[in-house]
Structure 1
Amino acid sequence: MQFQSEQSQQLHEQSVNLTRSILCELVATRILRRFYEDSSGPEGLLLLANVLVAGFSVFQGAPENIQQANLPRNHWTVTYKSRHPALEIAIVSQSKLFLSSGACQLVVNAIYIGRIVYTPTTFVDIIPDNYKYRPISLYDPRKAPFLNQYRLMVPRTRNTIEICQFICLLCLYLWIMIQRPPPHKYPLQEIVFSVYACGWILEQFSTILEHGWFVYTQNLWSFLDVTFSLIFGIYGILRLHGLRTESPVPGQQALDVLAMAATILIPRLAFNLMSENMLFVSLRAMMSDFMMLTVLAVWCFIGFLLSMLWLGEGKHHMATISKWMLWVWFGLDGTGIGRSVEFHWLLGPILMVTFAFLGYLFLVILVSMLSNTFSGLHSDVDSEIQFRRAVLTLEGVKSDAIFSYLPPLNIFAIVFLVPLRFVVTERWFHKINVAIIRTLNLPILVLVALIERQAWWAPRKKGKLPPGLKARGGKGRPGMGNRAISVPGFNAHGNIQAVFRAEYERIKQEEMDAEVGEVPPEVLNGDDVESFMMGAGGRSSDRRTSRDMMRRLTRRDSSMPLGEVADQLRALLSTADGESETGGGVGQRIHALEDRLKNIEEMLETLVRGKEKKKVEEEAIEDADE
């Protein structure tokens, strides 16, 4: 981050600082990759999670005087957020190479599906409930409570809930605008929409306080949410002003402003449902470049506007001149050039024609910038998508209790729980909060628990075929299983798809069962995680060796028998001198191999010389016979 900041400030060392920042990212990626290669299984996943999502202070390890000078104890940020996870720093610095690495994506996917659970560090909590701190641990649904309110904070579940909330907001908005209430009245459906929209905007504001403005704006649809919040704020002010003055004019203006929100809400649903589409990924960056160049163009063309306004001496209004200039800029109409003589017979046409040339130049620059932006994103679209996925995952992990209350119940939660927090003890506040959350979200918690136990985390019985591979004598038919796109029974190649899906599900289920069986109970329960991680380093080599020797063969080993050779070669190279199985070091083995090669060369030379000598003798005998 420091090198990127210096790159924008010190232009004479721009390439040097860019190289330094790339080198730092490569070193961080290599270190994380080393952790990933040295540790495997659930212990390795837990170690990677501690490396990426465990908070650390930026002044960690610095002398005490430096910490006091740069971040005093009474600093207000210390109270709220003094520790930052490495994953958040990678997002803030936009380290897309680091975030797209295999080790980082392994942890991101595990957090997204809820396999790794933890309590994140936050900037500000509106309703803080940290009575029970959750360390970084692996989640086991078989040992977790059935009504687990913390599963509402899993990014996958949270993303589904947020999409449903936005669909409800969109339906209420369409209901209001289709009926179009009268300006002088405030009907019930508009009250419901206003209250729900206030709760939805409150949730967006809480997200900004949770992770900060920069992380929030890295989301694809964040600018749409901010724009709708501004539109709704203007609508609310005008609507309340109209009710207070009992005038229909402000009410009509409020509904007109609210009608503009359709341009925001309809595309926002597409951003949610197709967040990894290349069009939407590139559209955000292209709109940023377009807005920047448009602001610069307007700034430069204000001089032309003032010159024409002063040359005309009040003959034309500023809005009319601006309209003519805008039409000329986009090539829609040449009215401004034709009527430029009304400003001045000579200077007016010169100004308007010069503006037309410069406007065309700005359009060419704009098209070139957008083309370069799109080509740059398209060349590395995988890293960009994985970066957005990491942002969505980090935003999905919440610690503020306000996110457990769906809109508009979060408004009533603030009204009731914030004063209650100063009245009761922390333990009783936690009990009351958990009881309310489980009561209000009972259907969602039951549905999440059933889905996780029956579909996502359900152990498969041995000998049981997956869906789609039932016996011919049964009720089902081959190839009639669940498929993502094809209609059951209407795909001629359903058996081909089903057999690969069955093999994949079998392998994944065996790996998950083996990993869960290897994890110690204290790791699954989240108890004594620090002591477990401290002792994992000393036991990692022995456990890894035994795990590699006893690992189950997969299809890759049967189709390509290089896995065992690679393991032996890795064990040979990782063995230090004097610690090999035969008592000799790697150097001694190399010398022995060289001696054997020399012996082979001597044998080959002897054979070649013997053949040549025999050939010469045969030629001599033939000459003697002749």
Structure 2
Amino acid sequence: MAAVYACLVVRSYFLAASEDDLAYAGVMLSRANLCEILALKLLTRFATNHIQLVAVLTTSWNPLAGATPEIVAEVTESLGGSDDVLNCPQSALEMAISTQAKHLLSAPISQKVVNDIYTGRVVFSAVANRSLLADNYKPRPIEIYDTRTAPFLDHYRLRVPKYGAILEFFNFAILLLTFVLCLFHQDPYRVTFWEVTFILFALSFALQEYTASTEHGWIIYIANMWNVFDTSFILIFFSYLGLRIHGLSHDEVQHSITAFDLLACGACILFPRLAFFAVSNNVVILALRAMIAEFVFFMGMAAICFSGLLFTLWTLAATSDKQWTLKSIAWLMTQIWFGNTFLSFGQAESFHPLFGPILMTGFAALSNTLLLTILISTLSNTFARIDANASVEYLFQFAITTIEGVKSDALVSYQPPFNIFAFLILKPASWFLTPRALHTLNVFLVKLTTFPILLAIGIYERYLASGRVLRESGKDAAQSLFNSLPRHIKTMPIVEALVGSTTNDLYEAIFDLDDPRAQAPSLFDDTEDEDGGNPGLRSIASRDSMNISVRPSTPTGTRRPPSSTRTPHRERVSARTSPRRPVSNVLAPLALGSDDQAGVSTLTEDQRSPLAKLFGARPQVEPVAESSVRRVEALLEDVRDLPVHKLKDEMKELQERQARIENLLLMLTRGMRNETGHRSDTMP
């Protein structure tokens, strides 16, 4: 079961080797891709057993498991002699994330496991080895969650990523609200109530993010683009907190004002971060991180390239009449870089009468024409690449979010700001309490602080979730109410936009229907009856001779007019087809056989179509009506002992089926009869 994990570990080795040895980078990358393909192929061998498939992807493996003591000693010596780094097990999903195995994570077999973990259908708990506060007393095996056997207040449901995402949204909204109120009631001279509240929630948020990065490692944590925004805000918050404490302790009002100004810059991160919850799977959001990385790298390279020009202008300005500082020159170059080219020509001679215009003109041409065009092209290519693999990128980010949601740290179950109090209580208690006592205390505190949330989750999963009785009864009542509305109200555009079209409901009802009656004859049924097959399902115009005369029968319940008032069928067909191209001319190239005795002229070998040559001269079958009557009689003998009402239903069904078959044959032989009638009129 560890073969998939082993392939991904080898993939990480080849990826590292491709960066070290550039001469063989292509070969190493090909080997890394081969490891990913091999891991995906090995994963399909466990697809038949869902529990085993989940175990293969979620079980944490130690890379040194099964190694000899000599190998362990060598690895320990190469790592500096510390044994702490040896105990770092990871699962196959975590290795796939750290090695960027996006095709493996986006495969349907992997996404089935990820979706089950996200919705809480699959329940498991991994042993915590790098957690800030570990509770490994009662690890849960991998199982399918069942509300009938699970406790009503199940604190493990707080680790379900689906519920965790909802709770994270509300916690972030509360953090944003306290952030706005803190800036609205800011006071440089004293600490206000809203500032204390914001600091408390911000510290809880920072502790939550630090717990996530500690549990899964920085590589997996930073692979999620949202964590980059969260980390940036945490850095701004701690910078504000340091300036604020320094300003209050030394009575320096300017430091406090600077602290609030710095905190206000965090709004550039908090407001978009909350909005990204609603459009997290948009292609623009998925490409944002890669585009920002490309932009920062390009701007850094440009700054390094133009640092020489900055030094040159600063040196030339030392001998000029106008006093230029290094900061003012850098700001002037920044304005020129972002499009204000006029400044380059207006201030050029202030540096040097000869070299100033030359240098500033060259800088303006490079920055606004060449490098800016390269930047736009680079960002466009990055967006196009992400857009082409938008679904793969989204599934990759979705897998990261899911793995983060099931981390084993005990603080995950606490909501801000209770995670701070839990950490202050449980961390010292873990030093002297037994694992069982620590587990009991942890469960008590979790249920005490999150009782309303656990109650809401329990009610939802048992009564309001998809497929539950209360939700289904509510849907039936709403459907009955909608059906009772007048037709002109149901067809209103706004009502149809809110409720949805009833056409899809009709299609779903048709495909969900389970007909308990006898199955209709199959077109692909190879069994033959005593009459030599099922001629009722055979296309007479394409398989058999066209010399078949079938009298159309009248469906049940329809009276036939007297024979004196009926128009011959041959004349009606001739009257309908006379204004158009003769049907005989249309069907002649497709004729598959002929019979001279029936009055149909025989086509020569050159006149016959390829289909006629291949399928011609088929044996003539008995008329369909006679064969159907025989089948009906045989069926009546078989169902003689059945109840009368069932027999009537089956007879009615057979009559309707016979009528449909005869109508179909009537349509297929109209052309033949018309051709026969025309030719028989001209024969002596």
Query: Does structure 1 residue 494 correspond to structure 2 residue 505?
Result: no
Query: Does structure 1 residue 90 correspond to structure 2 residue 68?
Result: no
Equivalents in 2 of 1:559, 1:145: separation in Å?
51
Give the 3-state SS of the residue equivalent to 2:134 in structure 1.
Answer: coil
Query: Does structure 1 residue 282 correspond to structure 2 residue 287?
Result: yes
AA of the residue aligned to 1:30: K
* Structure 2 match to 1:357: 365
- Structure 2 unaligned runs (5+)? 1-11, 487-492, 525-613, 618-684
Sort the Cα spacing of 1:465 and 1:275 in 2 relative to 1 into closer, same or farther, 3 A. Answer: closer
Sort the Cα spacing of 1:489 and 1:300 in 2 relative to 1 into closer, same or farther, 3 A. Answer: closer
* Structure 1 match to 2:407: 398
Aligned pairs for 1:362-441 within 5 A? 362-441=371-450
* Structure 2 match to 1:271: 276
* Structure 1 match to 2:343: 335
Whether the aligned pair in 1 keeps the contact of 2:14 and 2:29 (CA below 8 Å) is yes
Whether the aligned pair in 2 keeps the contact of 1:341 and 1:349 (CA below 8 Å) is yes
* Structure 2 match to 1:169: 175
Query: Does structure 1 residue 299 correspond to structure 2 residue 271?
Result: no
AA of the residue aligned to 2:160: V
Whether the aligned pair in 1 keeps the contact of 2:463 and 2:469 (CA below 8 Å) is no
Whether the aligned pair in 2 keeps the contact of 1:321 and 1:336 (CA below 8 Å) is no
AA of the residue aligned to 1:405: Y
Deviation at 1:560, TM superposition (A): 11
AA of the residue aligned to 1:170: L
Whether the aligned pair in 2 keeps the contact of 1:114 and 1:155 (CA below 8 Å) is yes
Deviation digits for residues 28-76 of structure 1, max 9, x if unmatched? 111212322xx1xxxx211110110111122334444223311479511
Whether the aligned pair in 1 keeps the contact of 2:127 and 2:136 (CA below 8 Å) is no
Deviation at 1:429, TM superposition (A): 1.4
Deviation at 1:104, TM superposition (A): 0.2
- Structure 1 unaligned runs (5+)? 481-485, 508-551, 563-607, 612-626
Give the 3-state SS of the residue equivalent to 1:342 in structure 2.
Answer: coil
AA of the residue aligned to 2:374: I
Sort the Cα spacing of 1:10 and 1:502 in 2 relative to 1 into closer, same or farther, 3 A. Answer: farther
Aligned pairs for 1:407-556 within 5 A? 407-456=416-465, 458-459=467-468, 467-470=474-477, 475=481, 477=483, 493-499=500-506
* Structure 1 match to 2:240: 235
Deviation at 1:403, TM superposition (A): 1.6
* Structure 2 match to 1:28: 39
Greater relative contact order (Cα < 8 A, sep 6+): 1
Equivalents in 1 of 2:128, 2:355: separation in Å?
60
Equivalents in 2 of 1:204, 1:120: separation in Å?
19
Sort the Cα spacing of 1:227 and 1:493 in 2 relative to 1 into closer, same or farther, 3 A. Answer: closer
AA of the residue aligned to 1:355: F
Sort the Cα spacing of 1:91 and 1:499 in 2 relative to 1 into closer, same or farther, 3 A. Answer: farther
Query: Does structure 1 residue 182 correspond to structure 2 residue 205?
Result: no
2:317 to 302, 312, 315: 312
Deviation at 1:468, TM superposition (A): 4.3
Give the 3-state SS of the residue equivalent to 1:273 in structure 2.
Answer: coil
Deviation at 1:162, TM superposition (A): 0.8
AA of the residue aligned to 1:231: I
Deviation at 1:273, TM superposition (A): 2.0
* Structure 2 match to 1:604: none
Sort the Cα spacing of 1:137 and 1:306 in 2 relative to 1 into closer, same or farther, 3 A. Answer: same
Whether the aligned pair in 2 keeps the contact of 1:236 and 1:254 (CA below 8 Å) is yes
Equivalents in 1 of 2:15, 2:53: separation in Å?
26
Equivalents in 1 of 2:154, 2:82: separation in Å?
37
Equivalents in 2 of 1:69, 1:334: separation in Å?
65
Whether the aligned pair in 1 keeps the contact of 2:133 and 2:409 (CA below 8 Å) is yes
Whether the aligned pair in 2 keeps the contact of 1:97 and 1:383 (CA below 8 Å) is yes
* Structure 2 match to 1:11: 22
Deviation at 1:260, TM superposition (A): 0.7
Equivalents in 1 of 2:34, 2:145: separation in Å?
35
Whether the aligned pair in 2 keeps the contact of 1:471 and 1:478 (CA below 8 Å) is no
Whether the aligned pair in 2 keeps the contact of 1:470 and 1:477 (CA below 8 Å) is no
Sort the Cα spacing of 1:499 and 1:421 in 2 relative to 1 into closer, same or farther, 3 A. Answer: farther
* Structure 1 match to 2:156: 150
Deviation at 1:424, TM superposition (A): 2.2
Deviation digits for residues 135-177 of structure 1, max 9, x if unmatched? 2222112111111111101111111111110000011112222
Sort the Cα spacing of 1:142 and 1:488 in 2 relative to 1 into closer, same or farther, 3 A. Answer: farther
AA of the residue aligned to 1:425: T
Equivalents in 2 of 1:430, 1:445: separation in Å?
18
Give the 3-state SS of the residue equivalent to 1:272 in structure 2.
Answer: coil
Equivalents in 1 of 2:188, 2:521: separation in Å?
73
Q: Which has the larger radius of gyration?
A: 2
Equivalents in 2 of 1:224, 1:6: separation in Å?
31
Whether the aligned pair in 1 keeps the contact of 2:418 and 2:449 (CA below 8 Å) is no
Equivalents in 1 of 2:213, 2:50: separation in Å?
29
AA of the residue aligned to 1:221: W
Whether the aligned pair in 2 keeps the contact of 1:173 and 1:193 (CA below 8 Å) is yes
Give the 3-state SS of the residue equivalent to 2:306 in structure 1.
Answer: helix
Aligned pairs for 1:54-133 within 5 A? 54-71=59-76, 75-78=83-86, 81-122=87-128, 124-133=130-139
Deviation digits for residues 56-106 of structure 1, max 9, x if unmatched? 12233444422331147951124xx42110001001111111111111000
Whether the aligned pair in 1 keeps the contact of 2:126 and 2:139 (CA below 8 Å) is no
Whether the aligned pair in 2 keeps the contact of 1:155 and 1:393 (CA below 8 Å) is yes
Give me the TM-score of the superposition, normalised by structure 2.
Answer: 0.68
Higher helix share: 1
Whether the aligned pair in 2 keeps the contact of 1:4 and 1:18 (CA below 8 Å) is yes
Give the 3-state SS of the residue equivalent to 1:450 in structure 2.
Answer: helix
Deviation at 1:183, TM superposition (A): 1.1
Q: Report sequence identity in percent.
A: 33
Sort the Cα spacing of 1:558 and 1:147 in 2 relative to 1 into closer, same or farther, 3 A. Answer: farther
Deviation at 1:289, TM superposition (A): 0.7
Deviation digits for residues 263-307 of structure 1, max 9, x if unmatched? 110100122222111110011111111111111111121111111
Give the 3-state SS of the residue equivalent to 1:201 in structure 2.
Answer: helix
Whether the aligned pair in 2 keeps the contact of 1:479 and 1:489 (CA below 8 Å) is no
* Structure 2 match to 1:590: none
Deviation at 1:123, TM superposition (A): 5.3
Deviation at 1:120, TM superposition (A): 2.7
Deviation digits for residues 200-238 of structure 1, max 9, x if unmatched? 111111111011111111112112111111111111111
AA of the residue aligned to 2:331: K
Equivalents in 2 of 1:297, 1:413: separation in Å?
48
- Aligned pairs, how many? 503
Deviation larger for 100-109 or 353-362: 353-362
Deviation at 1:489, TM superposition (A): 6.5
Sort the Cα spacing of 1:135 and 1:471 in 2 relative to 1 into closer, same or farther, 3 A. Answer: closer
